[in-house]
C-alpha cells in the first residue's frame, strides 16, 4: 500500500506520461464501491471511503481520478447486475445479435473478462450457438449465474494463465475503466489476440461525453478511475497496436462500445491532437456540479415538507451518490431495487436497507424518487401494477 497518493503532475499521465495536468473537480469522502452492499447497518456505516480528484491530461485528453487507490476497490461480493431490467435485457440481446451478425460469430468461441452473472455470454451463445469462457473475480456474481451448458465460468482475475485459451471474440464490458492499470491490461489482451486468427475484441465503457456533457453528476462515482471520450478511447487502442473496426455510443448514449483487432502495421499517431472540446465540456461540468447539488438540496427539502411517505426506487450508483453527497436532506421510508441480490442489504454510509419493489404496496408512498431516468418508464409501469398512486420524480 502506498504511503501517499502521487498526483499525476508528479507521476505523469498513466497513459502518455505527460505532466501537463489540469484540475477539474474534487469531491471528498465518497463510498469506494457502489457494487458492494452490506449485511448490517453497522458494517454499512463503516464502509470504506475515498476522494475523487478529477483531472485531465492536456497532452492525450485522458480524464481520471488521480486520488484513486486500487486497494479500496475489491471485487469480492461485488454485484452491479442490471440484467433484471427488461429494457437492459433488450439491449444485451440486440448487442449479441449485432456482434454475431457483423463478425459471423456462429459456432465460435467467446471469452469475457468481468462477466458477472454471465447474462451477455448466455445471450451471445444462444444467438450464435457459441461456446464461452467467462472470467470474473467476484465469487458472488459467478455463484448467482444461471447454469448454462455452453458457458464455463471461472472465479479469477484475467492473467497470463489464460492467454492460451482459444477464442474468436474477446469481451470486456463495464470493467476496463475500473482497472488500476489499463495499459498493462491492453498489452495482455494484445498478446491474447495475437495468438488467435482473425479474433475481435469488444470493449464497453461509460461515455464521458454523456456524464459530463449532460451534467449527470450522480454518475461521478469512485470506481470509475478513468473516463473516456470517444476520441481518447480510440487513440488509446490505436497507440497500443490495435486497429479500430467499429465504434459508437450505445445504451441510450450512456456507454461507448469499441471493436478492435490487432493492427497489421504500427499506428503512427498524429503529432497534434485537439482536445479543446473535452476541456470545454469539463469546465462546464465543474459549474454544473455545484449548481446541481444546491438545486437538489432545495428540492429534497421541499419534498420533505410536501410528502409524508417518500421512497427511492433504484439502489445503484446514482442513488448512493445522491444520498451520500446530500446526506440528511430527506427522510426515506423505503429504498427498493429490482435486483433480488440487493434485498435485505444496507447502502454504504447511509445504512439504509434495500427492499423489493413489492414492499411499496403496503407502504403506499406518495412520492417515488427514481434514481435512473433510463428505467423510469418501466418503473412507473411496475408501480402501476403494484397499485401505487403517487407522484414520480426522476434524478
- Domain of residue 226, CATH code: 3.40.50.150
Average pLDDT, rounded, for the chain: 92
The verdict on 19 and 100 lying in the same domain is no
Query: What mean pLDDT is predicted for residues 25-37?
Result: 93
What's the pLDDT score for residue 316? 92
Grid coordinates given for 148: 448454462
The verdict on 51 and 174 lying in the same domain is no
Q: Classify residue 281: in a domain, yes or no.
A: no
What number of other Cβ atoms are within 10 A of residue 359's Cβ?
15
Number of domains in the chain: 3
Query: What mean pLDDT is predicted for residues 176-201?
Result: 95
Q: Classify residue 323: in a domain, yes or no.
A: yes
The verdict on 44 and 91 lying in the same domain is no
User: 33-74 pLDDT, tens per residue?
Assistant: 988 999 999 999 999 999 999 999 998 899 999 999 999 988
Under DSSP, the state recorded for 387 is T
Q: Exposed e or buried b for every residue in 244-266, given b needs 16+ CB within 10 A?
A: beeeeeebeebbbbbbbbbeeee
Phi and psi torsions of 123, nearest 5°: -65, -45
**Closest alpha carbon to 30 in 73, 94, 75, 90:** 73
The verdict on 258 and 328 lying in the same domain is no
Alpha-carbon distance values, 212 to 163, 234, 247, 281 (Å): 36, 18, 20, 6
Say how many residues make up the chain: 395
Q: Is the pLDDT of residue 247 over 50?
A: yes
Phi and psi torsions of 261, nearest 5°: -140, 170
Model confidence at 2, pLDDT cuts 50, 70, 90, reads: very low
What's the pLDDT score for residue 274? 75
166 and 109 Cβ atoms separated by less than 8 Å:
yes
The verdict on 93 and 49 lying in the same domain is no
**Half-sphere exposure in the Cβ direction for 252 (13 Å, CA):** 9
Q: Classify residue 248: in a domain, yes or no.
A: yes
The verdict on 46 and 129 lying in the same domain is no
User: Where do runs of H (alpha helix) occur along the chain?
Assistant: 8-11, 41-45, 86-103, 119-128, 139-143, 182-194, 208-213, 230-239, 276-306, 317-325, 360-363, 376-385
Domain that holds residue 117: 86-262
Pairing of strands 151-155, 310-313: unpaired
What's the pLDDT score for residue 272? 54
Which residues lie below 8 Å from residue 351, measured CB to CB, with a gap of 6+? 38, 41, 42, 44, 45
Q: What is the distance, to the nearest Å, from the Cα of residue 16 to the centroid of all Cα atoms in its chain? A: 24
**Closest alpha carbon to 128 in 112, 104, 149, 102:** 104
Grid coordinates given for 235: 487513440
**What string of DSSP letters covers 44-78?**
HHT--EEEEEEEEETTT--EEETT--GGG---TT-
129 and 149 Cβ atoms separated by less than 8 Å:
no
Q: Is the pLDDT of residue 1 over 50?
A: no
Q: Classify residue 37: in a domain, yes or no.
A: yes
Q: Classify residue 20: in a domain, yes or no.
A: yes
User: 345-392 pLDDT, tens per residue?
Assistant: 999 999 999 999 999 999 999 999 999 999 999 999 999 999 999 999
What number of other Cβ atoms are within 10 A of residue 86's Cβ?
13
Amino acid at each position: 500500500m502506498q504511503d501517499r497518493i502521487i498526483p499525476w503532475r508528479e507521476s505523469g499521465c498513466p497513459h502518455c506520461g505527460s505532466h501537463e495536468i489540469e484540475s477539474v473537480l474534487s469531491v471528498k469522502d465518497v463510498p469506494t464501491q457502489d457494487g458492494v452492499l452490506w449485511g448490517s447497518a453497522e458494517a454499512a456505516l463503516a464502509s470504506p471511503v475515498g476522494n475523487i480528484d478529477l483531472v485531465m491530461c492536456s497532452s492525450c485528453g485522458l480524464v481520471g481520478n488521480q486520488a484513486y487507490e486500487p486497494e479500496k476497490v475489491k471485487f469480492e461480493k461485488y454485484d452491479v447486475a442490471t440484467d433484471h431490467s427488461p429494457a437492459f435485457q433488450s439491449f444485451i440481446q440486440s448487442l449479441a445479435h449485432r456482434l454475431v451478425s457483423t463478425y459471423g460469430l456462429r459456432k465460435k468461441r467467446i471469452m469475457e473478462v468481468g462477466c458477472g452473472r454471465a447474462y451477455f455470454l448466455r445471450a451471445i451463445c444462444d444467438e450464435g450457438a457459441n461456446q464461452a469462457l467467462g472470467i470474473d473475480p467476484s465469487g458472488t456474481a459467478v455463484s448467482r449465474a444461471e447454469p448454462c451448458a455452453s458457458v464455463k465460468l471461472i472465479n479469477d482475475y484475467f492473467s497470463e494463465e489464460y492467454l492460451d485459451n482459444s477464442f474468436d471474440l474477446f469481451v470486456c464490458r463495464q470493467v476496463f475503466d475500473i482497472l488500476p492499470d489499463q495499459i498493462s491490461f491492453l498489452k495482455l489482451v494484445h498478446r491474447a489476440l495475437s495468438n488467435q486468427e482473425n479474433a475481435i475484441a469488444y470493449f464497453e465503457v461509460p461515455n464521458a461525453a454523456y456524464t459530463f456533457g449532460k451534467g449527470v453528476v450522480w454518475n461521478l462515482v469512485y470506481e470509475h478511475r478513468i473516463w473516456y471520450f470517444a476520441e481518447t478511447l480510440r487513440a488509446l487502442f490505436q497507440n497500443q497496436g490495435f486497429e479500430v473496426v467499429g465504434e459508437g455510443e450505445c445504451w441510450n448514449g450512456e456507454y461507448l462500445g469499441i471493436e478492435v483487432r490487432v493492427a497489421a502495421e504500427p499506428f503512427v499517431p498524429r503529432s497534434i491532437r485537439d482536445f479543446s472540446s473535452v476541456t470545454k465540456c469539463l469546465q462546464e461540468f465543474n459549474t454544473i456540479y455545484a449548481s446541481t447539488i444546491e438545486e437538489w438540496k432545495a428540492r429534497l427539502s421541499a419534498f420533505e415538507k410536501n410528502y409524508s411517505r417518500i421512497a427511492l426506487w433504484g439502489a445503484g450508483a446514482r442513488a448512493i451518490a445522491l444520498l451520500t453527497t446530500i446526506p440528511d436532506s430527506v427522510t426515506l421510508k423505503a429504498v427498493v431495487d429490482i435486483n433480488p441480490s440487493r434485498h435485505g442489504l444496507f447502502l454504504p454510509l447511509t445504512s439504509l436497507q434495500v427492499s423489493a419493489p413489492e414492499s411499496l404496496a403496503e407502504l403506499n408512498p406518495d412520492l417515488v424518487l427514481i434514481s435512473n431516468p433510463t428505467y423510469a418508464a418501466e418503473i412507473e409501469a411496475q408501480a402501476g401494477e403494484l397499485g401505487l398512486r403517487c407522484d414520480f420524480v426522476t434524478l
